[in-house]
Amino acid sequence: MKMKKYFNLLTALLIIGFVSCNNQKSDKNSEISKIKELETQIYNESTNSINKKAVTDLLDAYSNFVKNFANDSLAPEYLFKAGEIAMNTHMGTQSVFYFNKLQNNYPTYKKIPYCIFLQAFVYDSQLKKYDKAKEYYNLFITKYPNNELVKDAKASIKNLGKSLDEIIKEFENKKGDKK
User: Is 17 a member of any domain?
Assistant: no
Per the structure, the count of domains in the chain is: 1
End-to-end Cα distance, the chain: 100
Strand partners of residue 49:
44
Q: The domain containing residue 170 runs over which residues?
A: 37-178
120-163: pLDDT as tens digits: 999 999 999 999 999 999 999 999 999 999 999 999 999 998 88
User: Is 29 a member of any domain?
Assistant: no
User: Is 109 a member of any domain?
Assistant: yes
User: Is 18 a member of any domain?
Assistant: no
User: Is 53 a member of any domain?
Assistant: yes
Cβ(124)–Cβ(160) under 8 Å?
yes
Return d(Cα 81, Cα 68) in angstroms, integer.
17
110-124: pLDDT as tens digits: 999 999 999 999 999
User: Is 11 a member of any domain?
Assistant: no
Strand partners of residue 44:
49
Mean pLDDT of 69-89: 97
Instruction: Look up the CATH number of the domain holding residue 101.
Output: 1.25.40.10
**Any alpha helices (H) in the chain, and if so which ranges?**
2-41, 52-68, 74-88, 92-105, 112-125, 130-143, 150-158, 164-178
User: Is 16 a member of any domain?
Assistant: no
The distance between the two most distant Cα atoms of the chain, rounded to a whole number of Å, is 100
pLDDT band at 19 (very low <50, low <70, confident <90, very high): very low
